[in-house]
Chains A and B, each alone.
Chain A
Amino acid sequence: MIMGKQKKMSEIIVQIDGKEVKAAEGMTILEAAQKADIFIPTLCYHEKLEPYGACRMCTVEVEVRGWTNLVAACLYPVEQDLIVRTRSEKVDKIRKLILEFLLAHAPCSPQLQDLAQEYGADKDRFEKESSFCIVCGLCVRYCAEVKKKNAVGFVDCGARREISFIPEIASKECNSCKECFALCPTSYLQAAFVLTESLAFPAESSQTALKK
Chain B
Amino acid sequence: MPRINSASELEKLRKGILSVRDPDKPCIAICAGMGCLGLSNGRVISAFEEEVDKKDLKAKVEIRATGCHGYCEKGPVVVIYPEEICYVEVTPKDIPEIVSQTVLGKKVIDHLIYTNPDTGEKSAHLSEIPFYKNQMRQIFGNNTKIDPRSIDDYLAVGGYSALSKSLLEMSPEEVIDEVKKANLRGRGGGGFPAGRKWDTARNAPGKEKYVIVNAHEGESGAYMDRAILSGNPHSVLEGLIIGAYAIGSHQGFIYARHDAPQLKKNIDIALAKAGEYGLLGENILGSGFDFHVEVHLDIGIFVSGESSALMRSIEGNTPEPRPKYIHTSVKGIWKKPSVLNNVETWANVPLIINKGAEWYASTGTARSKGTKLVSLSGNIINTGVAEVPFGTTIREIVYGIGGGIPKGKKLKAIHFGGPMGGSIPESLLDKPLDFDELAKLGASIGAGSMLVLDEDTSMVDVARYFLDFLSNESCGKCVPCREGIRQMLKILTNICDGKGREGDIELLEEISDVTGAASLCALGKTAADPLLSTLRYFRDEYETSIAKVISPAEKRE
Contact = CB atoms under 8 A, between A and B. Distances in A.
Interface of A: 53-57, 59, 70-72, 75-77, 90, 93-94, 97-98, 101-102, 104, 126-127, 134-135, 137, 154, 156-161
A75 B321 CA distance: 13
Given A102-B479, A159-B489, 4 more contacts: A53-B323, A55-B478, A157-B475, A158-B472
Contacts of A76: 323, 325
Interface in B471-489: 471-480, 482-487, 489
Interface of B: 301, 303, 318, 322-323, 325-326, 470-480, 482-487, 489-490, 510-511, 513-514, 517-520
Contacts of B322: 53
7 contacts: A59-B518, A70-B517, A94-B480, A98-B518, A101-B486, A159-B471, A159-B489
Contacts of B513: 93
A135 B476 contact: yes
Contact of A54 (B301, B472, B477, B490): B477
Looking at B301, B325, B326, B470, the one whose CB has the most chain A CB atoms below 10 A away is: B325
Max chain A Cβ within 10 angstroms of own Cβ: one of B479, B489, B514, B519: B479
A161 B486 CA distance: 12
A92 B317 CA distance: 33
A158 B518 contact: no
B473 A158 contact: yes
B479 A55 contact: yes
A57 B318 CA distance: 23
B325 A158 contact: no
Contact of B518 (A70, A77, A135, A160): A70
Given A72-B323, A93-B513, A98-B514, A160 B478 contact: no
Contacts of B482: 135, 158-159, 161
Nearest 3 CB-CB pairings of A with B: A161-B476, A101-B483, A159-B471
A135 B476 CA distance: 9
Main secondary structure of the interface of B (DSSP, over half): helix
Given A75-B325, A157-B474, A159-B472, A54 B518 contact: no
Given A56-B520, A94-B514, A75 B323 contact: yes
Nearest to B300: A157
Contacts of A97: 480, 484, 510-511, 514
Contacts of B519: 56
B514 to A, nearest CB: 5
B327 to A, nearest CB: 13
Contacts of A53: 322-323, 478, 520
Contacts of B517: 59, 70, 90, 94
Nearest to A57: B479
A157 B518 contact: no
A104 B484 CA distance: 12
A189 B514 CA distance: 28
Quick one: which of B326, B473, B477, B490 has the most chain A CB within 10 A?
Answer: B477
B124 to A, nearest CB: 50
Nearest to B470: A158
Contacts of B474: 157-159
Contacts of A134: 479
A57 B514 CA distance: 12
A43 to B, nearest CB: 8
Most buried by A among B301, B487, B520: B487
